[in-house]
Amino acid sequence: MARPAGANTTSITFNNVAIGSLTLNATAFPNSNGTGTAQAKGSAPVYRDGQCNRFRHRHHGQHHHAVEFNACRSDGSGGSDASPGGDRRDAAGNIVLLSSQKLQWVSSDTARAAVDSAGIVTGVAIASGVSAPQITVTDTESGKSASIGVTVAALLYNSTFESGTVDSVWTTVSLGTSVPLHIEATPIGDRHFLGQLLQQKAILTLNNLSAHSAVTVTFDLFIISTWDGNGGVPPGSSVWGPDIWQLQVAGSQTLLNTTFSNWQ
Amino acid sequence: MTTCFPKPRRRPIRTTFPGGVHPAQTGATEKNTLGYTFTTSTGPAVVDSVYHLTYTFAHSSSSLELDFNSLQNEGANEFWGLDNVKVTAN
Protein backbone atom coordinates (compact mmCIF):
# COMPACT_ATOMS: atom_id res chain seq x y z
CA MET A 1 0.00 0.00 0.00
CA ALA A 2 1.16 3.52 -0.66
CA ARG A 3 2.17 5.93 2.08
CA PRO A 4 -0.58 8.53 2.44
CA ALA A 5 0.31 12.04 1.39
CA GLY A 6 1.29 14.32 4.27
CA ALA A 7 1.29 11.51 6.84
CA ASN A 8 3.78 9.03 8.24
CA THR A 9 1.44 6.28 9.31
CA THR A 10 -1.30 4.16 7.83
CA SER A 11 -3.08 0.97 8.72
CA ILE A 12 -4.29 -2.25 7.20
CA THR A 13 -6.99 -4.62 8.37
CA PHE A 14 -6.70 -8.38 8.23
CA ASN A 15 -10.01 -10.22 8.23
CA ASN A 16 -10.62 -13.77 9.44
CA VAL A 17 -7.24 -13.96 11.13
CA ALA A 18 -6.32 -17.53 12.02
CA ILE A 19 -6.17 -18.40 15.70
CA GLY A 20 -2.64 -18.94 16.92
CA SER A 21 0.81 -17.41 16.48
CA LEU A 22 1.44 -15.17 13.52
CA THR A 23 4.28 -12.97 12.31
CA LEU A 24 3.67 -9.62 10.63
CA ASN A 25 6.38 -8.63 8.13
CA ALA A 26 6.64 -5.23 6.41
CA THR A 27 9.10 -3.88 3.86
CA ALA A 28 9.31 -0.20 2.83
CA PHE A 29 10.03 0.66 -0.79
CA PRO A 30 10.78 4.13 -2.13
CA ASN A 31 8.28 4.05 -4.97
CA SER A 32 4.50 4.06 -4.50
CA ASN A 33 4.17 1.08 -6.79
CA GLY A 34 6.40 -1.02 -4.53
CA THR A 35 9.51 -0.84 -6.68
CA GLY A 36 13.02 0.30 -5.96
CA THR A 37 15.55 -0.71 -3.36
CA ALA A 38 13.97 -1.66 -0.07
CA GLN A 39 14.66 1.03 2.52
CA ALA A 40 13.64 -0.77 5.69
CA LYS A 41 12.21 -4.01 6.95
CA GLY A 42 10.45 -4.96 10.12
CA SER A 43 8.57 -7.83 11.70
CA ALA A 44 6.54 -8.39 14.83
CA PRO A 45 5.03 -11.53 16.40
CA VAL A 46 1.36 -11.44 17.31
CA TYR A 47 -0.93 -13.98 18.85
CA ARG A 48 -4.59 -14.34 18.03
CA ASP A 49 -6.21 -16.02 21.07
CA GLY A 50 -9.48 -17.60 20.12
CA GLN A 51 -10.30 -19.04 23.53
CA CYS A 52 -10.11 -16.15 25.91
CA ASN A 53 -10.48 -12.46 25.44
CA ARG A 54 -6.80 -11.64 25.34
CA PHE A 55 -6.36 -10.36 21.80
CA ARG A 56 -6.08 -6.58 21.64
CA HIS A 57 -7.26 -5.27 18.30
CA ARG A 58 -9.12 -2.30 17.00
CA HIS A 59 -12.74 -3.06 16.22
CA HIS A 60 -12.97 -2.85 12.47
CA GLY A 61 -16.67 -2.36 12.06
CA GLN A 62 -17.97 -5.80 11.22
CA HIS A 63 -21.36 -6.50 12.71
CA HIS A 64 -21.23 -9.54 14.90
CA HIS A 65 -24.27 -11.66 15.12
CA ALA A 66 -23.63 -13.70 18.18
CA VAL A 67 -21.32 -14.18 21.11
CA GLU A 68 -20.32 -17.79 21.58
CA PHE A 69 -18.61 -19.48 24.46
CA ASN A 70 -16.35 -22.35 23.74
CA ALA A 71 -14.66 -24.85 25.98
CA CYS A 72 -12.17 -22.71 27.79
CA ARG A 73 -12.28 -23.75 31.45
CA SER A 74 -15.82 -23.59 32.76
CA ASP A 75 -15.31 -24.69 36.29
CA GLY A 76 -12.83 -24.13 39.03
CA SER A 77 -12.05 -24.90 42.59
CA GLY A 78 -13.15 -22.57 45.31
CA GLY A 79 -10.88 -19.58 45.49
CA SER A 80 -9.14 -20.32 42.21
CA ASP A 81 -9.63 -18.55 38.94
CA ALA A 82 -10.92 -19.63 35.58
CA SER A 83 -11.87 -17.83 32.44
CA PRO A 84 -14.67 -18.82 30.10
CA GLY A 85 -13.45 -18.53 26.57
CA GLY A 86 -15.45 -17.17 23.72
CA ASP A 87 -15.40 -16.31 20.06
CA ARG A 88 -17.41 -13.49 18.58
CA ARG A 89 -18.95 -14.44 15.26
CA ASP A 90 -21.00 -12.75 12.60
CA ALA A 91 -24.13 -14.15 10.95
CA ALA A 92 -21.99 -16.21 8.59
CA GLY A 93 -20.12 -17.80 11.44
CA ASN A 94 -16.94 -15.85 10.84
CA ILE A 95 -14.89 -14.82 13.84
CA VAL A 96 -15.22 -11.09 14.47
CA LEU A 97 -12.54 -9.21 16.36
CA LEU A 98 -13.58 -6.58 18.84
CA SER A 99 -12.19 -4.66 21.74
CA SER A 100 -12.23 -6.25 25.18
CA GLN A 101 -13.19 -2.84 26.55
CA LYS A 102 -16.62 -3.31 24.96
CA LEU A 103 -17.32 -6.54 26.85
CA GLN A 104 -19.28 -6.52 30.09
CA TRP A 105 -19.03 -9.55 32.37
CA VAL A 106 -21.68 -10.30 35.00
CA SER A 107 -22.21 -13.15 37.47
CA SER A 108 -25.76 -14.10 38.40
CA ASP A 109 -24.64 -15.07 41.90
CA THR A 110 -21.60 -13.27 43.26
CA ALA A 111 -21.92 -15.18 46.54
CA ARG A 112 -20.86 -18.30 44.63
CA ALA A 113 -18.75 -17.00 41.76
CA ALA A 114 -17.37 -13.56 40.96
CA VAL A 115 -16.18 -12.34 37.58
CA ASP A 116 -13.97 -9.33 36.89
CA SER A 117 -13.89 -6.96 33.94
CA ALA A 118 -11.45 -9.24 32.11
CA GLY A 119 -13.75 -12.26 32.39
CA ILE A 120 -11.73 -14.00 35.08
CA VAL A 121 -14.08 -16.07 37.25
CA THR A 122 -13.26 -16.68 40.90
CA GLY A 123 -15.06 -19.39 42.85
CA VAL A 124 -16.48 -18.17 46.15
CA ALA A 125 -18.69 -21.02 47.40
CA ILE A 126 -19.61 -24.53 46.27
CA ALA A 127 -22.14 -24.51 43.44
CA SER A 128 -23.26 -26.94 40.79
CA GLY A 129 -26.35 -28.05 38.91
CA VAL A 130 -29.34 -25.78 39.43
CA SER A 131 -27.36 -23.59 41.81
CA ALA A 132 -24.56 -23.03 39.33
CA PRO A 133 -24.01 -19.29 38.76
CA GLN A 134 -24.44 -18.02 35.23
CA ILE A 135 -21.61 -15.94 33.83
CA THR A 136 -22.90 -13.60 31.14
CA VAL A 137 -20.82 -11.57 28.73
CA THR A 138 -22.42 -8.75 26.77
CA ASP A 139 -20.94 -6.79 23.91
CA THR A 140 -22.12 -3.31 24.79
CA GLU A 141 -21.86 -2.11 21.20
CA SER A 142 -24.23 -4.65 19.68
CA GLY A 143 -26.09 -5.75 22.79
CA LYS A 144 -25.38 -9.37 21.96
CA SER A 145 -24.71 -11.63 24.91
CA ALA A 146 -24.14 -15.24 25.94
CA SER A 147 -24.12 -17.11 29.22
CA ILE A 148 -22.56 -20.21 30.66
CA GLY A 149 -23.07 -22.00 33.96
CA VAL A 150 -19.99 -22.59 36.09
CA THR A 151 -19.43 -25.32 38.65
CA VAL A 152 -17.53 -24.28 41.74
CA ALA A 153 -15.92 -27.19 43.55
CA ALA A 154 -14.21 -27.08 46.93
CA LEU A 155 -10.71 -28.49 46.96
CA LEU A 156 -10.58 -30.78 49.99
CA TYR A 157 -7.18 -32.33 49.44
CA ASN A 158 -4.47 -32.23 46.81
CA SER A 159 -1.00 -33.73 46.97
CA THR A 160 1.68 -34.75 44.53
CA PHE A 161 3.85 -35.89 47.48
CA GLU A 162 6.75 -33.92 46.04
CA SER A 163 7.32 -32.38 49.49
CA GLY A 164 8.70 -35.75 50.56
CA THR A 165 6.60 -35.88 53.73
CA VAL A 166 3.38 -37.74 54.51
CA ASP A 167 0.52 -35.41 55.44
CA SER A 168 -1.13 -35.96 58.82
CA VAL A 169 -4.42 -36.86 57.10
CA TRP A 170 -2.91 -40.22 56.16
CA THR A 171 -2.80 -43.28 58.41
CA THR A 172 -2.32 -46.99 57.77
CA VAL A 173 -3.61 -50.32 59.03
CA SER A 174 -1.79 -53.58 58.33
CA LEU A 175 -3.62 -56.29 56.42
CA GLY A 176 -0.65 -58.69 56.48
CA THR A 177 2.89 -57.60 55.75
CA SER A 178 3.08 -53.82 55.94
CA VAL A 179 5.46 -50.89 56.17
CA PRO A 180 5.10 -47.41 57.69
CA LEU A 181 3.69 -44.79 55.35
CA HIS A 182 6.52 -43.04 53.56
CA ILE A 183 7.41 -41.22 50.37
CA GLU A 184 9.69 -42.67 47.72
CA ALA A 185 10.91 -41.53 44.33
CA THR A 186 10.60 -43.71 41.26
CA PRO A 187 13.84 -45.03 39.68
CA ILE A 188 12.83 -43.45 36.38
CA GLY A 189 11.51 -39.91 36.45
CA ASP A 190 12.19 -39.23 40.14
CA ARG A 191 8.45 -39.04 40.79
CA HIS A 192 7.67 -38.84 44.51
CA PHE A 193 4.71 -40.89 45.63
CA LEU A 194 3.13 -42.45 48.72
CA GLY A 195 4.73 -45.90 48.85
CA GLN A 196 5.96 -48.45 48.14
CA LEU A 197 3.34 -50.09 50.31
CA LEU A 198 2.53 -53.75 50.88
CA GLN A 199 -0.45 -55.65 52.30
CA GLN A 200 -2.08 -52.73 54.05
CA LYS A 201 -4.72 -50.07 54.08
CA ALA A 202 -3.81 -46.43 53.44
CA ILE A 203 -6.50 -44.22 54.96
CA LEU A 204 -7.20 -40.62 53.97
CA THR A 205 -9.37 -38.83 56.55
CA LEU A 206 -10.80 -35.36 55.92
CA ASN A 207 -12.82 -33.59 58.62
CA ASN A 208 -14.82 -30.38 59.07
CA LEU A 209 -16.09 -30.35 55.51
CA SER A 210 -18.48 -27.64 54.46
CA ALA A 211 -21.91 -28.51 53.06
CA HIS A 212 -21.72 -30.55 49.87
CA SER A 213 -23.59 -33.30 48.06
CA ALA A 214 -20.91 -35.11 46.05
CA VAL A 215 -17.23 -35.90 46.22
CA THR A 216 -14.77 -36.66 43.45
CA VAL A 217 -11.48 -38.41 44.11
CA THR A 218 -8.76 -38.61 41.48
CA PHE A 219 -5.42 -40.37 41.85
CA ASP A 220 -2.68 -42.31 40.12
CA LEU A 221 -2.30 -45.88 41.36
CA PHE A 222 1.15 -47.38 40.99
CA ILE A 223 1.14 -51.19 40.69
CA ILE A 224 4.73 -52.33 41.13
CA SER A 225 6.48 -55.63 40.50
CA THR A 226 4.96 -59.08 40.28
CA TRP A 227 1.22 -58.61 40.66
CA ASP A 228 -0.50 -61.73 39.36
CA GLY A 229 -4.12 -60.82 38.74
CA ASN A 230 -6.56 -63.56 39.59
CA GLY A 231 -3.90 -66.14 40.29
CA GLY A 232 -1.35 -68.47 38.85
CA VAL A 233 -1.59 -71.69 36.93
CA PRO A 234 -4.31 -72.65 36.40
CA PRO A 235 -5.86 -69.15 36.44
CA GLY A 236 -7.83 -68.62 39.61
CA SER A 237 -5.63 -70.85 41.72
CA SER A 238 -4.26 -69.44 44.93
CA VAL A 239 -0.65 -70.20 44.04
CA TRP A 240 0.20 -66.61 43.10
CA GLY A 241 -3.03 -64.76 43.70
CA PRO A 242 -5.55 -63.34 43.71
CA ASP A 243 -3.95 -59.92 44.04
CA ILE A 244 -6.84 -57.71 45.04
CA TRP A 245 -6.91 -53.92 45.37
CA GLN A 246 -9.87 -51.90 46.65
CA LEU A 247 -11.04 -48.34 47.13
CA GLN A 248 -13.77 -47.89 49.69
CA VAL A 249 -15.67 -45.04 51.27
CA ALA A 250 -15.61 -46.04 54.92
CA GLY A 251 -19.02 -47.01 56.17
CA SER A 252 -20.57 -46.52 52.79
CA GLN A 253 -19.60 -48.11 49.51
CA THR A 254 -16.87 -49.85 47.56
CA LEU A 255 -15.77 -47.81 44.55
CA LEU A 256 -13.30 -50.32 43.16
CA ASN A 257 -12.69 -54.00 43.85
CA THR A 258 -10.38 -55.61 41.34
CA THR A 259 -7.19 -57.51 40.75
CA PHE A 260 -4.14 -56.27 38.90
CA SER A 261 -1.43 -58.00 36.92
CA ASN A 262 1.82 -56.68 35.50
CA TRP A 263 2.71 -59.77 33.48
CA GLN A 264 2.25 -59.34 29.76
CA MET B 1 15.11 -51.93 42.00
CA THR B 2 13.09 -54.82 43.35
CA THR B 3 14.55 -58.30 43.23
CA CYS B 4 13.47 -61.53 44.81
CA PHE B 5 13.51 -65.22 44.10
CA PRO B 6 13.08 -66.02 40.43
CA LYS B 7 9.44 -66.40 39.53
CA PRO B 8 8.59 -68.38 36.45
CA ARG B 9 7.42 -66.13 33.64
CA ARG B 10 3.75 -66.69 33.06
CA ARG B 11 0.64 -64.97 31.78
CA PRO B 12 -1.72 -64.19 34.60
CA ILE B 13 -4.65 -61.87 34.14
CA ARG B 14 -6.33 -58.86 35.56
CA THR B 15 -10.03 -58.79 36.23
CA THR B 16 -12.72 -56.66 37.76
CA PHE B 17 -12.71 -59.23 40.51
CA PRO B 18 -14.80 -61.36 40.44
CA GLY B 19 -16.16 -59.95 37.19
CA GLY B 20 -14.90 -60.01 33.65
CA VAL B 21 -11.40 -61.09 32.76
CA HIS B 22 -8.97 -58.76 31.00
CA PRO B 23 -5.34 -58.97 29.81
CA ALA B 24 -2.62 -57.73 32.14
CA GLN B 25 -2.22 -53.94 32.39
CA THR B 26 -5.57 -53.34 30.69
CA GLY B 27 -6.55 -49.71 31.22
CA ALA B 28 -3.13 -48.62 32.45
CA THR B 29 -2.14 -45.10 31.45
CA GLU B 30 1.52 -46.07 31.72
CA LYS B 31 3.19 -49.46 31.32
CA ASN B 32 6.70 -50.18 32.63
CA THR B 33 7.66 -46.51 32.90
CA LEU B 34 8.57 -46.19 36.57
CA GLY B 35 11.75 -48.28 36.40
CA TYR B 36 10.99 -51.07 38.86
CA THR B 37 12.54 -54.36 37.81
CA PHE B 38 12.10 -57.94 38.86
CA THR B 39 14.26 -60.94 38.00
CA THR B 40 12.40 -63.92 36.64
CA SER B 41 13.63 -67.24 35.37
CA THR B 42 14.19 -65.53 32.02
CA GLY B 43 16.10 -62.56 33.45
CA PRO B 44 15.35 -59.08 34.77
CA ALA B 45 12.29 -57.26 33.51
CA VAL B 46 10.67 -53.90 34.20
CA VAL B 47 7.29 -54.58 35.74
CA ASP B 48 5.13 -51.66 36.81
CA SER B 49 2.01 -49.86 35.70
CA VAL B 50 0.13 -46.65 36.46
CA TYR B 51 -3.65 -46.34 36.51
CA HIS B 52 -5.24 -42.88 36.47
CA LEU B 53 -8.52 -43.33 38.33
CA THR B 54 -11.41 -40.97 39.08
CA TYR B 55 -14.55 -41.69 41.09
CA THR B 56 -17.49 -39.44 41.95
CA PHE B 57 -19.98 -40.46 44.57
CA ALA B 58 -22.81 -38.98 46.62
CA HIS B 59 -21.59 -37.73 49.98
CA SER B 60 -22.86 -35.08 52.40
CA SER B 61 -21.24 -35.84 55.73
CA SER B 62 -18.87 -33.35 57.34
CA SER B 63 -16.16 -36.01 57.44
CA LEU B 64 -14.82 -38.37 54.81
CA GLU B 65 -12.64 -41.47 55.09
CA LEU B 66 -11.26 -43.06 51.96
CA ASP B 67 -9.69 -46.50 52.37
CA PHE B 68 -7.13 -47.61 49.79
CA ASN B 69 -6.84 -51.34 50.52
CA SER B 70 -4.28 -53.74 49.15
CA LEU B 71 -4.96 -57.44 49.60
CA GLN B 72 -2.34 -58.89 47.29
CA ASN B 73 -1.34 -62.52 47.74
CA GLU B 74 2.39 -61.97 48.28
CA GLY B 75 3.74 -59.63 50.89
CA ALA B 76 7.33 -59.41 49.73
CA ASN B 77 7.36 -58.61 46.03
CA GLU B 78 4.05 -56.97 45.17
CA PHE B 79 4.09 -53.26 45.91
CA TRP B 80 1.82 -50.32 45.27
CA GLY B 81 1.64 -46.59 45.79
CA LEU B 82 -0.40 -43.45 45.26
CA ASP B 83 0.41 -40.20 43.49
CA ASN B 84 -1.43 -37.01 42.53
CA VAL B 85 -4.26 -37.56 44.99
CA LYS B 86 -6.97 -34.91 44.66
CA VAL B 87 -10.33 -34.73 46.41
CA THR B 88 -12.99 -32.13 45.58
CA ALA B 89 -16.57 -31.59 46.71
CA ASN B 90 -19.53 -29.78 45.23
B83 and chain A: CB distance < 8 Å anywhere? yes
Q: Quick: pLDDT tens for B11-51.
A: 445 555 556 778 888 889 999 999 999 887 788 888 999 99
pTM over 0.80: no
Which amino acid appears at position A172 of this protein?
A: T
B54 and chain A: CB distance < 8 Å anywhere? yes
What's the pLDDT at A241? Answer: 76
Using an 8 Å CB-CB cutoff, list chain A residues near B68.
201-204, 246-247
Question: Whole-angstrom Cα distance, residue A93 to residue A37?
Answer: 42
pLDDT category, B53, cuts 50, 70, 90?
very high
- Are B86 and A218 in contact, with CB atoms under 8 Å apart? yes
What's the pLDDT at A251? Answer: 92
Which regions in chain A score pLDDT beneath 50?
50-78
- Interface predicted TM-score (ipTM): 0.87
What's the pLDDT at B73? Answer: 84
H-helix or E-strand spanning residue B21: strand B21-22
CB-nearest partner of B90 from A153, A187, A194: A153
Using an 8 Å CB-CB cutoff, list chain B residues near A223.
28, 48-51, 80
B20 and chain A: CB distance < 8 Å anywhere? no
DSSP letter for A101, please.
G
Q: Over 60: is that where the pLDDT of B86 sits?
A: yes
What's the pLDDT at B60? Answer: 95
What's the pLDDT at B74? Answer: 84
Using an 8 Å CB-CB cutoff, list chain A residues near B14.
229-230, 258-261
